[in-house]
Amino acid sequence: MRRLTRTTTPGGALIGESAPETAGIVHLGLGNFHRAHAAVYTARALAHEAGDWGIHGFANRSRRVVDALRAQDGRYSVLELSERGRGAAVVDVHRGLDVLAETPDAFVASVSDPARRILTLTVSEAGYCRSARTGALDADLPEVRHDLGAPERPRSTVGLIARGLAVRAADGEPFTVLSCDNLTANGAATRAVVTEFLEASGASSDVLDYVAGHVSFPDSMVDRIVPATVPETIEEVGRILGVRDEAPVPAEDFAMWVLEDSFAAGRPAWDRAGAIFSDEVEAYELVKLRLLNGSHSLIASLGALDGRETIADAWGEEFVRDAVHAVVEDDYLPTIRLPRGFDVAAYLEQLSHRWGNAPLAHGTRQVGTDGSVKLLQRVPEPALFALRRGRVPHLLALTVAGWICCVTPLQGFAPGPFADAMREPARERIAELARAATTPRESARAVLGGGLLPDALVASPAFAGRVEELVETIVRHGVRAAASDAVAA
C-alpha cells in the first residue's frame, strides 16, 4: 500500500485547505491529543479564513512521530470512532517538525522568531513543573534546578518557554502562549510558572516587563477523548483511505474548545471551526475538569481494579455508574458555578454516551496513567470545598483510594494487569514511602503523608481517615464493596 503523502492523499479526505507555508504557530507536544484537537481546529479555520497559521510542531522526545510525519509531508489522519460509525480524514497543517530534546535551540529560535505569533502547549499536567504541595514552580525538580542555574541552556518545559520569551523580548513583538492542557485556569497558571521562573533565574526587568505587557496567556478549556494509536488504527485507516499512515490518531466524534479571546498578536479563525470564545472559560474548565476528568479518574481506577480493560467496559458495570453518579451529584456539582445557559442534564447525558463509546476502546490504563499529577487538578479543591462545609466527600476519598490501590505495592493485594500497566511518575517514590508499612491502612497513610497531595487536604483527619479506610476495604473485600460503602455513606 502506498504511503500517505501530499501526492497520495485521496480526493475528498483532506480537512480544510492546504495550510500556508508560513508557521505563525509554534506547538510543543506532538502527541495524539494535539493532532486530533488544536491541529484539526486550525486546519478547519484555515479553510474558512486564510492566514499564516501553519504549525511548527515540536515533539517532546519522540523521534518516531516526527520521522513518520516528515515521511508523510506533515500529513496524518484522524480516525473517528463511535457507535454511529467510523470515518477517516487527513489533516495538513504542520510546517516544520522537530524533536525538542534533540534540538532545544531550534525551539528557542522558533519561539523568538517574529513570524511566530502563538505558542500552543500540550505538555500534560506534569509539564508545568508545579509543586504538588503548593502549586508554585517546583524549584526542587532536578531539571528546574538545573535551568535556574543555567537559564540559557534550559531542559525543562518552563525553562525553555522562558528562554524563548527572553530572546523574543529583544524585538518586543507581541506574542501569545496558549496552554491546551487540563489545568484549572491554565492560562494564568502558565503565566505564573513562567514569571516565577524568570524572576528566580534573575531575568532583567526588560524581559519581565515584556512578558507582563506584551505576552498574553489566554485561558482555554480543551476537550476530546483521544486514545493511543494501536496497530488496528493503522490497518483501519488503510482500509478506509487506501493509503498507509504510520501516525494516525483515533478519536471520538466529539470535540470542544472554549477560549478566552485574549491574543496579543492575532489568531486563526478558530471560532469559524467551532471553537467558542467566552468570558466564562473558567466555569467551562471546572465543569470539564470535574464532571468529565474527575469522574474519568474514578472510572479508570474502579474499572482497572475490577479487571476492565476499557472505559466503556467499566462504564457497563452498574457499580461504576452508581459511584460516578454519586461523585457528580454529591461532590462535584455543588462546587461548580455553571456557565450561563449551560444545560447540565444534557451534558451529563452526553458524557454517558462518550464514556460508553466501545469502538473507541479507551484504556483504563491510559486514563489511570500519571494519576498523581492528574488528581491534583481534579480532587483537592472540590474535596476541600466539602470539608470546609463540614461534609466528608466520600466519593473523592474513593477516587484517591482507588488510585493508591492501583499504584502502591500493598501486601497480599494484586491490583491486576490494567492497574499494573498505568504509568505513574511517582511509582518509585510511592513504593519507598510504603516500604515500612505492615497494613493497607499504614500504606495509605504513608502515601498520603508523602507530599504528593496538597498539605491542606491530607491534614484533614476526616478525609485522610476515610481514604485509609477505603483502601483497607478494597484490599480486604474488593473494589465493589468499597464503592458501595462510599455510595451508601
What nine digits make up the cell of 363? 484504556
Binding interface with ligand CS2 (CB under 6 A): 182, 223-225, 293, 296, 366-367, 374
CB of 488 to ligand CS2, least distance (A): 26
Residue 326's Cβ-count burial label (10 Å; 0-12, 13-18, 19+) is buried
Q: How far apart are CA 229 and CA 251, in angstroms?
A: 9
CB closer to ligand CS2 out of 144 and 299: 299
Give min distance, CB of 255 to ligand CS2, in A: 8
**Closer residue to ligand CS2, CB minimum distance, 182 or 195:** 182
Kindly state the smallest distance separating residue 83's Cβ from ligand CS2, in Å. Answer: 17
In the bound state with ligand CS2, the residue whose beta carbon lies nearer, of 175 and 257, is 257
Which among 278, 231, 221, 237 is positioned nearest to 37, based on CA atoms?
221
CB of 173 to ligand CS2, least distance (A): 32
Of 395 and 446, which CB lies nearer to ligand CS2 in the complex structure?
395
Three cell numbers written together for 225: 477523548
For ligand CS2, the nearest residue by Cβ is 296
Q: Which is nearer to ligand CS2, 110 or 301 (CB)?
A: 301
Min separation Cβ 150 and ligand CS2, Å: 33
The rounded distance, in Å, linking the Cα atoms of 377 and 297 is 11
Residue 444: which of 422, 476, 417 has the closest Cα?
476
Q: Which is nearer to ligand CS2, 9 or 122 (CB)?
A: 122
Output the CA–CA distances (angstroms, integers) from residue 392 to 61, 335, 383, 478, in the order listed: 42, 14, 8, 22
Q: Which CB sits closer to ligand CS2, 122 or 195?
A: 122
Instruction: Give min distance, CB of 367 to ligand CS2, in A.
Output: 4
Nearest to 439 by CA among 466, 417, 411: 411
**Burial of 393 per CB tally in 10 Å (0-12, 13-18, 19+):** buried
Helix 157-168 × helix 142-149 angle, to 10°: 30
Which residue, 190 or 377, has its beta carbon nearer to ligand CS2? 377
Least separation, in Å, of the C-beta of 386 and ligand CS2? 21
Nearest approach, Cβ of residue 334 and ligand CS2 (Å): 21
CA distance 488 to 69: 51
By beta-carbon proximity to ligand CS2, the closer residue of 367 and 376 is 367
Residue 403 CB, nearest distance to ligand CS2 (Å)? 11
CB 404 within 8 Å of CB 474 = no
